[in-house]
Amino acid sequence: MEQAYDGGRRAEAPFDPFAGRTEPEHGRVVETARVPLWCHDDGGDGEPLVLLGGFTAGHFGFDFVRPLLRGRRLITWEPRGLGRSAHPDPVATPYSVPVWADDLAALLDALGLERVQLWAMGFGSYIAHRFASVHRERVAALVTYTDVWAGDPLKAYPQIWEVYGAIARNFGTTGFGARVLANVFDVSDVPWFGAWEARNIEQVLHPETVAATVGHCLLRADVRDDLAGIVAPTLVVQGGRTWDGRDVDPAADPSLALMRERIPQLELASIPDAHPAYVFVQEPVHVAAAATAFLDAHAQPLGLRRRVASEELATEGKPAGRGPPRARSSRQEGAR
């Protein structure tokens, strides 16, 4: 019987969270019609699934569910301002959810992808909601989180930014600063979380764009008006606790209530006793099971899946953005 990594809370043997990590060098920077954007494309032959990570863990947040998403073409990215994607000066270049959503469209164009399934975690869900609303013909199904507007009183994002922003300004986003930022989110029941998240922060955040990326999502991001434009079947996946550890009552969740009111095909998968956003780390098996069942139920016909970039295939002899082969990780071995 196959056994996959369970998030480390009940693991019987030590787990290395960095084994099998999707490092930046495994992907490439794509010259889009807007800005250069980093992405990783595993070149799979299945239905394309675009994974939109959060703004602290970045694309690394999906590393624990990737081994459970077999039979799909997996594409991850980093939005402008993060990782190896372009990070222009925020004073001269605006950063916003509409900008990131249009960047995503440009990346899909560059990769020759007409229509995809989307899976967003954390602040990536702001982008996913906007993209699914204004580029609705390009989204076959959407798995997302409840980031709808920064002012949601249940999330208390402005208060989080007071702490997060002060740490970034005073200590930066590497070394000590990264280690302190990593523990803002209180995922203390996973013993290696702090070290893992600190490395994510060092590879994802730039001090000069933290306020324009993380700060924007915690203070100003608002996609409430986009929700009614989402026509794709939509699944919300979240942990059953609030950011401060209290149990979430779905009936008293303002953002979820808005999504239920405005998105016609909305389903909810709530994972008990888990962080609302970092449930991917704590319960990857349960998260992947819920998401894959939903995505399989809304698989799109093969003819709509992909427009192949024939010139690039002819010159490179491989799918665009595919990284070098990697040795099987300890996590993957455990899943066999």
CATH of domain 24-149+224-334: 3.40.50.1820
pLDDT the model gives residue 222: 98
Q: Which of 49-63, 288-302, 308-322 shows the lowest per-residue confidence on average (mean pLDDT)? A: 308-322
Q: Count of alpha carbons within 13 Å of 227, Cβ hemisphere only?
A: 23
Residue 272, classed as helix, strand or coil, is: coil
Tokens found for residue 78? 């980093």
Which H or E run includes 236? strand 234-239
Mean pLDDT, rounded, for 131-143: 97
Q: Between residues 75 and 8, which one has the greater pLDDT? A: 75
pLDDT the model gives residue 7: 55
pLDDT the model gives residue 14: 76
Asked if pLDDT for residue 330 goes beyond 70, the answer is no
Which H or E run includes 255? helix 254-262
pLDDT, tens digit (0-9, with 9 covering 90-100), for 161-216:
999 999 999 999 999 999 999 998 878 789 999 999 999 999 999 999 999 999 99
**Strand 116-120 vs strand 28-31: parallel, antiparallel, or unpaired?**
unpaired
Residue ranges of the domains in the chain? 24-149+224-334
Asked if pLDDT for residue 247 goes beyond 70, the answer is yes
Mean pLDDT, rounded, for 282-286: 94
Asked if pLDDT for residue 331 goes beyond 60, the answer is no
Q: How many CB atoms are closer than 10 A to CB 252?
A: 9
Residue 3, classed as helix, strand or coil, is: coil
CB 60 within 8 A of CB 200: yes
* Rounded-to-integer distance, Cα 36 and Cα 241, Å: 37
Asked if pLDDT for residue 116 goes beyond 90, the answer is yes
Q: Between residues 267 and 306, which one has the greater pLDDT? A: 267
Mean pLDDT, rounded, for 53-60: 96
End-to-end CA, the chain? 8
Q: Between residues 96 and 240, which one has the greater pLDDT? A: 96
Asked if pLDDT for residue 302 goes beyond 80, the answer is no
Mean pLDDT, rounded, for 310-333: 35
pLDDT band at 12 (very low <50, low <70, confident <90, very high): low
Question: In the chain, what are the helix, strand and coil shares in percent, each to the nearest 5?
Answer: 40, 15, 45
Residue 209 region by backbone torsions, left for phi larger than 0, else alpha for psi between -120 and 50, else beta: alpha
Q: What secondary structure letter does DSSP report for 57? A: S
